Structure 1
Amino acid sequence: MNVSGERLDSEWVRGWCKQTSAELAVLMSSFLKTHGFPPGENAVVLATDESHGATDALVDLTPIPSDLTTLYWVVCEVSLPDVEHGFFIHPASTVAEHFREYGSVQIDDEPPAIVFASDGGGHLFAVAGSGRVWKSITASWFDDFEVVAASIREFLEQTGRTVVVQT
């Protein structure tokens, strides 16, 4: 549950996917002309039966916050290598692999946090049991993290605005 006490809603996430994908299409249509080189594969990939299985496995493996589960029931992954310095929401299968290898992230007095995303510079994003989203100060699982959003919804809203600003 996030700090405001309001849980992430799957319909809201679907709307975010649709809006962000539309804005992404606008950005990619002018990318070559604007930047002088073609864009990479930028996409919001919707969940599939296979990714739902990976989400179930992740839920069985970790103390995953409910908003992250909701996100993964709608979104398989987000890959935005050409938005700012790059932005990626990892598939649930990758999150599970990383959890097995590195465990959860301990942040201040927060419940254990699960790394679920990264940027093009290797900085990690983790969501804690409180619902807050944290970003690593460096490209490391073991250094300090700073809060960047009060909830996954706020985190997604910030990401969507970043796409719009770049168009």
Structure 2
Amino acid sequence: MLELITPTYNLHLEFLDLVAEYQQAGEFRMFDQNNLTLIQEDFSTYIQYLENNSQGINLKPGFVPATNFWLVMNSKIILGESQLRHWLVPTLEHRGGHIGYMIRPLQRSKGYGTTILAMTLEKAKNMGLSRVLLTCDQDNLASARIIQKNQGKLTSEGLWENSDKVISRYWIDL
């Protein structure tokens, strides 16, 4: 059984396994160093940080409230994580959008990306959003397919700041 839940201390060890899996795959960028330290040394504070972020408490300048979710199988295996940003600012309109998601490396290519996005879109609709923006690197074909399977329509492309890397922007009506 798959569920989309808010992060919980009860899955502390499972989340540490997820982080280790990203690190072993060389995907260190998934967690900034401050959060990585909290995850490893004070997980309850990390969970509180996520809750505060969802409520807009102590946000960094330029950040918006965002709610994190975990895609969990059988109430014990974390397959991936999504983040639903409550509204957009200019930087998110360029890159980032309303929703970001990731599936742990050993669980990819099993349809979980499509599922986590569909479930997060339902959360966005329940939050009162009528359409959402998602972005991905143009060469990230897997993410583009996931977005398109969830009715994403490519509306524009642009360059990363100080780079020749192209970002694709998709809108999804809810």
TM over 0.5: no
| TM-score in terms of structure 1 length | 0.31
Which protein is richer in strand relative to its size? Answer: 2
